Amino acid sequence: MAHVSMQSGLSATTETSSLRDLLVKMQTVWSAVANRYVAGGMLSHLDDRMLSDIGISRGDVESAFAEPVWRDPTTRLALLATERRTGSRELNTETLDAAA
């Protein structure tokens, strides 16, 4: 009888952990989609000179928004802007690959 109780306790813990993991993943995807919507609206109103002022190009924006919908384009754009300022393409490529 004690063995059955222990087994169901482990199962409940596993189910709770799985549910928690699922909720965290859903929240991450929701945040990425929300950021995509907000950033897309803001960036679409900027001309090429303004984009250049923040260290990105129109092509960078198009490239970042071509990523799958669950990826946050602002992460890629921030890395590209940093890369231009510092000239450290290799470092940021490794960081971008790790973030994906």
pLDDT tens, residue by residue, 33-72: 888 888 888 999 999 999 999 999 999 999 999 988 888 8
Please give the pLDDT value at position 34: 87
In a domain, 88, yes or no: yes
Name the domain count of the chain. 1
Looking from the CA of 48 toward its CB, the CA atoms found within 13 Å total 2
Instruction: Find the domain containing 74 and state its range.
Output: 31-99
Residue 26 has pLDDT above 50, yes or no: yes
Task: Answer whether residue 83 is part of any domain.
Answer: yes
Confidence of residue 84 (pLDDT cuts 50, 70, 90): confident
- Report the predicted TM-score, pTM, of the whole model to 2 decimal places: 0.59
Looking at residue 1, its pLDDT comes to 46
pLDDT at 2 over 80: no
| 18 in a structural domain | no
* Count of residues making up the chain: 100
- Determine, yes or no, domain membership for 23: no
